[in-house]
Amino acid sequence: MAAESTSSTSGVSRRRFVGGTLSLGLSAAATGPLSAMASQAGAAPAHPNDKTTPLFNPDYSRLIGRSDLIYTGRITTGTQGMSVANGRFGGPVWQSNSSTLVMQLNHTDMFMFNDASAASKDHQNSGGGAVGRIHIGFGTGTVFDATTRQHLSLYDGKLSISGTNVRADVIADTDSDVIAIQVTDDRATPQPITVDLAMLRDANQIWGAHSAISTLTTVAGTGRLGSRNETIVLEQVVQEPADTGTKANDHYVNTAVAATVRGREISNVVSNTIGNRATLRMNLPAQQGTFTVVVGGNADSRTALRTARATAVANATKASDHARISARSQAWWRDFWHKSYVYFPTQFNFEQRRNYYMYLAAISNRGSFPSKYNGGIWIGEEDRRDWGSFYWNWNQDCLYQPLLAANHLDLLEPMFTMRQSSYEQYEVAARQMWGSEGIFIGETDGILGWETLPDGIADSMQQYYTFKTTTRSQEFTDITMRRNRFLSPWNWNVFGGNRQASYVTHTMMATQETAEYYWQVYCYTKDLHWLRKVAYPFIKGAAEMYRSYDGLRKESDGKYHFFNTNLHEHIWAGKDVIDDLSMARGVFAAVVKASELLGADQATRPLWKDIRDNLAAYPLRTDPGALWAASTNPSLASQLATDQPAWAQGLQPAYFIRDLHGTESPIFKMLEKYDVLNLETRDQGLDNGDWEIALNTYLHSPGYLNQVKGQVIDRNGSSRFHVDAAKLGRADDMVKILNTQYGVFSTYGVFPNLLFNQLDYYSAEGYGTFAAALQEALSQSLSPTPAGDPVIRVFPAWPTAWDAKYKLLAKDGFLVSSSMVSGDIQYVEIESQLGERARIRNPWNSDVVLYREGRKAETLVAAENGLLEFKTHKGENIVLVRAGTTPDMYRSSDLIDTTAGSTSAS
């Protein structure tokens, strides 16, 4: 077990793992190997004549600039506004009328409710995140109209808005929670300007024991040149004592926004209202020229001390000037974009979606909690957030999928931080809900991770969900009526029913997928210190949850079978759900390997090995009681081919079968997680026949029939089917499936900010899986087994008709770059950041010439698709080309310009 320290979050004593190396470059103090890798990847390119200059050495500002968002016209609502933030603080910008610029300020660490809230039951769409709004009024007359140009530069992290003789540049300080809005007023007859800081809810909002109190105040001061320079402040205190009296479940969040002006004297400050929201208004005299509105923020859910106001004021009043903030921001974003790239000369719409998703991930994943799937930091409807404060693992996982290969492990840190801070609560959850050891993370949970329940309620809940009784205690029923029923413990009554299993009650994936991310970070970094101090408790905890779960049973066939687990929201409490069998194969292999590497848990290791080696086979559609698409859509029964076996999704007995024929219905976790089954498993002869079954299952799945054969646009943005197609190496299918999945974004409503309108929330989750699918088609880093040595594969599923270049991260710390032109793979370039032994599938039908640091070093002999292996040194640059060619033949910096990001007002 790791060394521990404790901190308090919302009144909860939390265990935090210290001494780990996951610093991930978010501060100057970062010292771990991941930070070093990130720093190397972002280093300035070598001189163009240097033989170690990357073969593709573009102007990154032009490369990323291809994906900029450019909109002509006025953006009228917050949901459509383009967002600027520093990873914690910021939000969307729009024009509420022809003379007013608005920015909503959100913070990743602001939550209206925690898991124990009694108020979230009735106010579930008030999710938190919003901390204030800035309104800049330019007087009478038209400043913003159909000719207004709005340009979000992804490379600079800057939004520029050009109205009629008025320009505004919005940037975020990457070192502190500061937004700087620089305004230049060149109107021939300037008018007085107003700057309002507005509340986003009633000043005194009371819901039972839950209160959200907002206060506007002024801090007097003088500017740097002695001019009058007040600062206006909006503070919020949100709190709710737990109705069970358990102090650890109390909720407390303190937020603040402070605004001041640089470069223009403030005439006075007055109280005001905009709509029905109270504001403080700074009046500025009419004057041509440039000034800056500086906005500081803070959100603190880690302590019950009111510290946010002082921090926000200090952020605003002590902020650097606009030029220094801009330079700092540009440097940060430059390093960010140099860590990886994709370049599709003709498929620039796909390139833009991937790059824009990386931008959204960057502006919302540098706080204490990960970006939320239902609006991220870009919510713009005051505090409204459909589906509330809570994390839904299925949707959240979409956001995490592309980050490892994109060489942005740093953007996973908030997820790890949240998980580590809740570790003890996950232990309580396993014990209270299932009577199990290890940890349990509910499919839906909040910032507590689990509400510590009175023993009597926990006992009744456990008896009910493990089917030992069909009745509930009155206390269990009563507390459910005071809780948000989308959370796992209370989900029996989600729509007023009485179910012993429901949508998320018996779903084990959040626990297992969390452990998989911890394991994958080790695979990418080979950092034993990280594995020991940070990752291993979660990997072990997930394995122990499965091992001690009452529903994992060794049957008379000598195999371990799962009972009473959910397949996402489709099968409730079924037998041998394929997701659990897939993830169990992964987690038990990983925990055995990790325990061996660390010399830990020798007594328990044989128990893990026994389960790893004796798990039941995946269910087949021909098995008695098989549950698959035909179970809920009998017209698909004709797709059953007995001579071509295909997997079912689970078996009877099952408590309830909801829907199994949607494209998003899971079936391929073995392809997606833990390297249970992949191209290397097949090519190294370790698949035991599963590869052909996987392929046949794919060809007879609703996703294939709809998205590939029928080219039907899939409404569900969270589908993983295009990721699965890439994992199967289906390059020809990717042409159709990427277009049909892309059609989700364009057909069902895309705003000027390119966010996907899912009707009940506006989201980027589909962009996460889309980015992951693109990257998997370009490059895969595959271990033949969960604990095996990884192998690099270039363009394993990329359509040969599409030219492409990329730089992406592979396991063992290899930065891999490659190029395909007219179906020809030109080169493979590898930067060895850790000095590990490299393994790569030969992409050519010839011998391979290896260059080290620009010098021809050796010739490797292998058949096409044969396995190549060679040693590397830390920091070494290696290029592989086919025999008869040289790296210099492929040196290039050329880019095709495009205006893909341009849209116009309708």
pLDDT digits (tens, 9 = 90+) for 463-475: 999 999 999 999 9
**Angstrom distance (rounded) from CA 271 to CA 201:** 16
Sign of CA dihedral 641, 647, 649, 653: positive
**Angstrom distance (rounded) from CA 699 to CA 105:** 47
pLDDT of residue 301: 75
What pLDDT band is residue 662 in, cutting at 50, 70 and 90? confident
- pLDDT tens per residue, range 688-726: 999 999 999 999 998 898 888 888 877 777 889 999 999
**Angstrom distance (rounded) from CA 312 to CA 234:** 9
- pLDDT tens per residue, range 496-541: 889 999 999 999 999 999 999 999 999 999 999 999 999 999 999 9
Average pLDDT over every residue of 479-493: 96
What pLDDT band is residue 795 in, cutting at 50, 70 and 90? very high
The residues near 351 (Cβ < 8 Å, ≥ 6 apart) are: 66, 67, 342, 343, 344, 900
Domain(s) of CATH 2.70.98.50: residues in the chain: 72-334
Q: Is the pLDDT of residue 127 over 90?
A: no
799 prior amide bond cis, ω within 30: no
Is the domain spanning 812-890 CATH 2.60.40? The answer is yes
- Residue 854: is it exposed, middle or buried by C-beta count within 10 angstroms (0-12/13-18/19+)? middle
Under a CB-based contact definition with an 8 Å cutoff, are residues 647 and 626 in contact? no
**Angstrom distance (rounded) from CA 895 to CA 640:** 48
Going by DSSP bridges, is the β-strand pair 814-821/824-832 parallel, antiparallel, or unpaired?
A: antiparallel
The residues near 787 (Cβ < 8 Å, ≥ 6 apart) are: 589, 590, 592, 593
Q: Please report the beta strands in 98-223, taking only residues with DSSP state E, as ranges in sequence order.
A: 100-107, 130-137, 149-153, 158-162, 166-172, 178-185, 193-198, 204-207, 210-219
**Angstrom distance (rounded) from CA 784 to CA 701:** 25
> Max Cα separation, the chain?
88
Three-state DSSP class for residue 435: coil
**Angstrom distance (rounded) from CA 354 to CA 804:** 14
Going by DSSP bridges, is the β-strand pair 902-904/69-72 parallel, antiparallel, or unpaired?
A: parallel
Under a CB-based contact definition with an 8 Å cutoff, are residues 173 and 319 in contact? yes
pLDDT of residue 649: 97
Domain(s) of CATH 1.50.10.10: residues in the chain: 390-618
Q: Is the pLDDT of residue 441 over 70?
A: yes
Average pLDDT over every residue of 477-498: 95
φ, ψ at 112 (rounded to 5°): -75, -30
Of residues 338 and 904, the one with the higher pLDDT is 338
Give 469-477's long-range contacts (Cβ < 8 A, gap of 24+).
Answer: 470/500
What pLDDT band is residue 856 in, cutting at 50, 70 and 90? very high
Q: Is the pLDDT of residue 105 over 70?
A: yes
Three-state DSSP class for residue 827: strand
Which one-letter amino acid corresponds to residue 813? G
What pLDDT band is residue 33 in, cutting at 50, 70 and 90? very low
Of residues 369 and 128, the one with the higher pLDDT is 369
pLDDT of residue 711: 84
198-207, 214-223, 268-277: least confident range: 214-223
**Angstrom distance (rounded) from CA 29 to CA 553:** 47
Average pLDDT over every residue of 154-160: 98
Going by DSSP bridges, is the β-strand pair 193-198/779-782 parallel, antiparallel, or unpaired?
A: unpaired
Q: Is the pLDDT of residue 52 over 70?
A: yes
**Helix axis angle, 509-525 relative to 413-421, nearest 10°?**
130
Domain(s) of CATH 2.60.40: residues in the chain: 812-890
Q: Is the pLDDT of residue 759 over 90?
A: no
**Angstrom distance (rounded) from CA 346 to CA 804:** 9
What pLDDT band is residue 477 in, cutting at 50, 70 and 90? very high
Class of the 72-334 domain?
mainly beta
Average pLDDT over every residue of 288-306: 87
Q: Name the β-bridge partners of 260.
A: 294
Under a CB-based contact definition with an 8 Å cutoff, are residues 721 and 737 in contact? yes
SS3 assignment for 649-704: CEECCCCEECCCCCCCCCCCHHHHCCCCCCHHHHHCCCCCCHHHHHHHHHHCCHHH
Q: Is the pLDDT of residue 764 over 50?
A: yes
Which one-letter amino acid corresponds to residue 515? A
Q: Is the pLDDT of residue 12 over 60?
A: no
Percentage of the residues of the chain whose pLDDT score is greater than 90:
81
| Residue 503 Cα distances to 68, 394, 466, angstroms | 39, 12, 15
Q: Is the pLDDT of residue 15 over 50?
A: no
| Residue 730 Cα distances to 256, 670, 770, 841, 866, angstroms | 51, 16, 15, 17, 19
CATH of domain 390-618: 1.50.10.10
- pLDDT tens per residue, range 408-427: 999 999 999 999 999 999 99
* Encoded tokens for 354: 């991937």
User: Which helix or strand (DSSP H or E) is residue 868 part of?
Assistant: strand 867-870
Average pLDDT over every residue of 226-254: 90
* Encoded tokens for 352: 């833009």
Three-state DSSP class for residue 291: strand
Q: Backbone dihedral region of 812: left (phi > 0), alpha (psi from -120 to 50 degrees) or beta?
A: left
The residues near 844 (Cβ < 8 Å, ≥ 6 apart) are: 825, 864, 882
Average pLDDT over every residue of 582-586: 98
**Angstrom distance (rounded) from CA 807 to CA 63:** 13
Calculate the average pLDDT of the chain: 91
- pLDDT tens per residue, range 598-655: 999 999 999 999 999 999 999 999 999 999 999 998 887 777 766 789 999 999 999 9
Under a CB-based contact definition with an 8 Å cutoff, are residues 132 and 322 in contact? no
**Among the listed residues 223, 200, 222, the one whose alpha carbon sits nearest the alpha carbon of residue 213:** 200
The residues near 555 (Cβ < 8 Å, ≥ 6 apart) are: 561, 616
- pLDDT tens per residue, range 772-787: 999 999 999 999 999 9
User: Which helix or strand (DSSP H or E) is residue 298 part of?
Assistant: strand 289-300
Percentage of the residues of the chain whose pLDDT score is greater than 70:
91
Q: Is the pLDDT of residue 38 over 60?
A: no
User: Which helix or strand (DSSP H or E) is residue 548 part of?
Assistant: helix 536-548
